[in-house]
Amino acid sequence: MGDSTTENPEIHPKFVTGEAGYILEDVPHLSDYIPNLPTYPNPLQDNPAYAVVKQYFVNVDDTVCQKIVVHKDSPRGKHFRRAGPRQRVYFEADDVHACIVTCGGLCPGLNTVIREIVCGLYHMYGVTKILGIDGGYRGFYSRNTIPLTPKVVNDIHKRGGTIIGTSRGGHDTSKIVDNIQDRGINLVFIIGGDGTQKGASVIFEEIKRRGLKVAVAGIPKTIDNDIPVIDKSFGFDTAVEEAQRAINAAHVESVSQENGIGLVKLMGRDSGFIAMYATLASRDVDCCLIPESPFYLEGPGGLFEYIEKRLKENGHMVIVIAEGAGQDVLAKCMEHDASGNKVLQDVGHWLSHKIKDHFTKKHKMTINLKYIDPTYMIRAVPSNASDNVYCTLLAHSAIHGAMAGYTGCITGPVNGRHAYIPFQRVTEIQNKVVITDRMWARLLASTNQPSFMSTQDITEEKKVEEPRPTQLLEGENCQDSKY
């Protein structure tokens, strides 16, 4: 964390420590930089629905424990502030002017999150002024806004995509904060991935610098599941479900033809979660290639050798490749091939070409390779039931936090409980499939694919992992991935 602190001197994680190694990594609050803010009773206390639920308000001391696998005498480790409604809030319903923006690529559940922010603000807190920012960050300054009401959003969770549009880039801190200020917006909900949340962090810093009473709430969105700390990102379950269709088609194609190979490219620029879970769920995959685990094509222990082996044994095989896998091999090949780079941009096409070339030309072996890229068909579906419930909790947690004055943080489930997490905790590092972990071992066992690794690789890979702030803070080897 040393480095990042040097780079962003503004970002001071708020740490609170306790006995037995207890650490709370707290989030910013409006009162940190605006003195004497008045508070109001939470309007939820008058809600008939909550009248019967006495324990509804979150105790101010509640924190969520990150470390679940412990020893009798291990330190308690890091905690986050529990999400949920507070007894007192920092905004009055009539004064609230909220806005919602969605950035980056599509992800199942975007519309559900939008719907639940609107309905939650309206029904729980009586907020009526809610704007949709059209088409991502640049919508703040270059386009008209879209008024959002419970009626407008009523059915949108049954549709894929985002009704307020999205885009990449377009982040201009001054213009955005000017616009927020000019419109009198005081609750900003920013739904987006890694880059978007970095942008949100900068917006928060500028708002703080200007001393504005504006809460900035990040809602992490990444279909790749590459956001750290939180259990999983919304839409991920739906994406894995949809990916099954493509894998199943690849399986059917491969078994119906001699030396049939079904090749499926799935999302995952830097992390292979969708590929890994889809492979584990499907059971029809013979080889899963992800960015975290390097592979090579030629020679002993290489992919071609494995393909040949499988075709000889079974006559067919299915390969799943995450879009970010094999970038190093691909880069090397491009140097070899000299020109025609355009062809090679897509790892799926590149691998198709390589496999066909290897077996047809070099081995005079007829293979029937079918390449499937279901990316946009996966991204665009509506969220499934499980993601719908997730999105509801996420939206509500974000609302409760912002109304209670928490700002400069994202919301997400940690070990099943929703918590508030400082921006820098999720933007500094990426969540990756840990390939020295049991989940990856399970995958290897399930596919029986080679690890494509020499001892040297493994050692190298560990070196890269070690400086992770997470690991350092947790400080011991009993913690591993979720399962």
Residues making up the annotated binding site for Mg(2+) are 194
Cβ–Cβ < 8 Å for 140, 180:
yes
Which residues are documented as binding site for substrate?
222-224, 267-269, 323, 376-379
414's CB contacts (< 8 A; 6+ apart) are 64, 65, 66, 80, 229, 230, 231, 421
> Which of 172, 227, 229 has its CA nearest to residue 13?
229
Residue of the chain from 37, 331, 365, 445 that contacts a second copy (CB under 8 A): 445
* Distance in angstroms (rounded) separating the CA atoms of residues 139 and 192: 14
Among 26, 134, 224, 237, which one carries the catalytic annotation? 224
Stretch touching a second copy by CB under 8 A, among 33-41, 174-182, 356-364, 410-418: 410-418
**C-beta neighbour count of 313 within 10 angstroms:** 10
Q: Is 224 a catalytic residue?
A: yes
Q: List the interface residues with a second copy, window 56-95 (CB under 8 A).
A: 56, 59, 61-65, 67-73, 76, 79, 82, 84
470 is a site residue for a second copy (CB under 8 A)? no
* Distance in angstroms (rounded) separating the CA atoms of residues 14 and 210: 20
478 is a site residue for a second copy (CB under 8 A)? yes
* Distance in angstroms (rounded) separating the CA atoms of residues 201 and 168: 16
365 is a site residue for a second copy (CB under 8 A)? no
DSSP 361: I
- In the complex with a second copy, the residue whose CB is nearer, 29 or 157, is 157
Stretch touching a second copy by CB under 8 A, among 220-228, 303-311, 357-365, 380-388: 380-388
121 is a site residue for a second copy (CB under 8 A)? no
Which residues are documented as binding site?
105, 168-169, 193-196, 222-224, 267-269, 323, 376-379
* Helix (H) or strand (E) segment spanning residue 47: none
Stretch touching a second copy by CB under 8 A, among 87-95, 189-197, 389-397, 466-474: 389-397
- In the complex with a second copy, the residue whose CB is nearer, 88 or 417, is 417
* Distance in angstroms (rounded) separating the CA atoms of residues 273 and 433: 6
What is the residue-wise DSSP string for 92-157?
-GGG--EEEEE-SS--TTHHHHHHHHHHHHHHHH----EEEETTSTTHHHHS-EEE--HHHHTTGG
The distance of Cα 352 from the centroid of its chain, to the nearest Å, equals: 28
Q: List the interface residues with a second copy, window 234-253 (CB under 8 A).
A: 237, 240-241, 243-246, 248-250, 252-253
Residue of the chain from 7, 12, 14, 18 that contacts a second copy (CB under 8 A): 18
Stretch touching a second copy by CB under 8 A, among 172-180, 216-224, 330-338, 391-399: 391-399
Q: List the interface residues with a second copy, window 123-152 (CB under 8 A).
A: 123-124, 135
Block residue for tokens 């499926």? 264
List b or e across 254-278, with b for residues whose CB sees 16 or more CB atoms inside 10 angstroms. Answer: beebebbbbbbbbbbbbbbbbbbbb
- In the complex with a second copy, the residue whose CB is nearer, 62 or 328, is 62
- In the complex with a second copy, the residue whose CB is nearer, 10 or 258, is 258
* Distance in angstroms (rounded) separating the CA atoms of residues 391 and 376: 21
Least spacing, CB of residue 92 vs a second copy, in Å: 20
381 is a site residue for a second copy (CB under 8 A)? yes
Q: List the interface residues with a second copy, window 320-349 (CB under 8 A).
A: 340, 342-343
Sign of torsion over alpha carbons 329, 333, 334, 336: positive
CA atoms within 13 A on the CB side of 317: 21
33 is a site residue for a second copy (CB under 8 A)? no
1's CB contacts (< 8 A; 6+ apart) are 13, 424, 428, 469, 472, 473
Stretch touching a second copy by CB under 8 A, among 182-190, 213-221, 321-329, 447-455: 447-455
- In the complex with a second copy, the residue whose CB is nearer, 63 or 197, is 63
440 is a site residue for a second copy (CB under 8 A)? yes
Residue of the chain from 393, 403, 421, 433 that contacts a second copy (CB under 8 A): 393
CA separation, residue 446 to residues 237, 415, 482 (Å): 20, 26, 18
8 is a site residue for a second copy (CB under 8 A)? no
Q: List the interface residues with a second copy, window 141-200 (CB under 8 A).
A: 157, 159-162, 165-167
* Distance in angstroms (rounded) separating the CA atoms of residues 126 and 401: 16
Least spacing, CB of residue 407 vs a second copy, in Å: 22
**C-beta neighbour count of 83 within 10 angstroms:** 28
Stretch touching a second copy by CB under 8 A, among 30-38, 214-222, 318-326, 415-423: 415-423
- In the complex with a second copy, the residue whose CB is nearer, 300 or 340, is 340
Least spacing, CB of residue 445 vs a second copy, in Å: 4
54 is a site residue for a second copy (CB under 8 A)? yes
Provide the annotated active-site residues. 224
